[in-house]
Structure 1
Amino acid sequence: MSESSQASDPYALLGIVRNPDGTITFDRTKFPRVPPTPDAVVSKDFRVNYSKSTYMRLYVPTTALNGGVSSMKLPLVVYFHGGGFVNDSYDHEPVHHFCNLMALKLNVVVASASYRQAPQFKLPAAYDDGLYALKWIKNSPDKGWIKSYADLSDVFLMGTNSGGNVAYNVGIRFTEEDLTPLCIRGLILLDPFFGGEERCESELRHVNDQVFPPALTDLCWKLCLPDGADRDHEYSNPRMGEGPEIMQEMAGFRWKVMVTGEGGGAMIDRQRDVANLMKENGVYVIEHFTNGDGHSGDPNKTETMFASIKSLIYSSPPVGFVF
């Protein structure tokens, strides 16, 4: 299939095939899977929920395992992968590489959690699984790495694309639970996936984007939102429903929040809007928006992003914010 025909077919961009009976088939070769690996960072898998077949891959820098410079307990980053709620997995090669690099560069323990995906499991299934992953971290008897190396009083929820949306919504649900000793210190939303019925300017500018055009985001929302819901559902559009009130409550928890976005991406205006909405409602937000190609994979941009995230994790609370 040519590049131009792929761009006009959002199913092809997702690596899925639409079947006559309404189901979809995944092209598993599009996203190769990799096992946990020993390296400067070690990783291993755990089954989190047997009935829902959800998993978690834990990453720990070897300096922590060896009693080196990181022998003290490290911040815990709970990470949710992207894929528009429809594709990708915690054990796909790019996700594994990113989490491995994150644990090394940030000197943190990473818990990369899977979640059920659409269209078989519509929202809020992914949010429920994300919250269950936090409960597993709190309660699971088989968590030697977490007990030994992770500081449960210093936890950040992070996600990319749809995973950023999951991190945000899991954070909301966390505030309604008592998961002591877990203490969330902040949210790190990397190019988070939000939407709305009315096209924003960046969507109009990038209507023919070759990687993640508006037609593809529309398809993802169609597949993942509850039956009968449109893109102005509060899962998609935080300005709707109780979104502003929820952000005011979030401000009361004194979280540090980072929102990132790429100027060459169709969703940049939505990401800026969410950051602005949070700030309007008293949330402490650090914005990391860049210009240019939203899909370049420039290693220099990755290094800059990791430096910003590390600063957020290890910085003192802002003036007036007392944890």
Structure 2
Amino acid sequence: MGSSAGANTAYHAGLCASQEADDLVPLKIKGLILHHPFIGGVQRTGSEVKLVNEPHLPLCVSDLMWSLALPLGADRDHEYCNPMVGGGSKLWKNVGLLGWKVMVTGCDGDPMIDRQMEFVDMLVTKDVKVVSHFSTGGYHVVELKEPSKAEALHALLKDFMFDAPAA
């Protein structure tokens, strides 16, 4: 599990682990939780345009973070930033075959929500068991600042990990 950039770390670590799942015994991974994944791309989405000056994560800050994080010469359509580039990683096939569930969360006050929803759609096309939850109100990783939102997230996580079958 990870939130924001931590979700990206969980995403990439999960894909790598899916290649070596048999070698990880006795560890058994059941799924990934990607909370408000920090994803982008060159072409602006509607939510990015609408929330360009969102006070918690303005687009200029997101762009700056990507310019510092990506390899030299890479743009935001690099696979580290845009997981949908080129149709997405072929390693998602492993995740589907292993039966892992993937939870993706977001909210409508996050400039990245359009990409997060597109990411969920891509996973579905790759036969990955996906559970998504996109809430109204809030902003990127709002749960870090607002206890009531954190409680709601904890309930979702509990359901995902212990009760809910993948949709």
TM-score normalized with structure 2 length: 0.89
1:196-251 superposed Cα distances (whole Å, 9 cap, x missing partner): 00001111001111121111111111101111111101111111246252223321
Which letter maps to 2:162?
Answer: Y
Separation in 2 of the partners of 1:191 and 1:204? 18
1:48-87 matched pairs, under 5 angstroms: none
Separation in 2 of the partners of 1:164 and 1:316? 20
The structure with more radius of gyration: 1
Distance change (3 Å), C-alpha of 1:302 and 1:225: same
Equivalent in 151, 165, 180 of residue 8 of structure 2: 165
Separation in 1 of the partners of 2:45 and 2:35? 19
| Cα contact 2:35–2:106 (8 A) shared by 1 | yes
SS for the counterpart of 2:11 is helix
Distance change (3 Å), C-alpha of 1:180 and 1:277: same
1:8-87 matched pairs, under 5 angstroms: none
- Would you tell me which structure has more helix in proportion to its own residues? 2
Which letter maps to 2:16?
Answer: R
- Residue 150 of structure 2 corresponds to 302
SS for the counterpart of 1:184 is coil
- Would you tell me which structure has more strand in proportion to its own residues? 1
What's the Cα RMSD here?
1.8
- Residue 126 of structure 2 corresponds to 281
Percent of matched pairs sharing the same residue: 43
Unaligned runs of 5+ residues in structure 2 are: none
Which letter maps to 1:179?
Answer: L
State the structure with bigger RCO (CA 8 A, min sep 6), 1 or 2.
Answer: 2
Pairing 1:205–2:29 present: no
Equivalent in 132, 143, 162 of residue 314 of structure 1: 162
> What number of residue pairs does the alignment pair up?
162
Separation in 1 of the partners of 2:59 and 2:34? 20
- Residue 148 of structure 1 corresponds to none
- Residue 55 of structure 1 corresponds to none
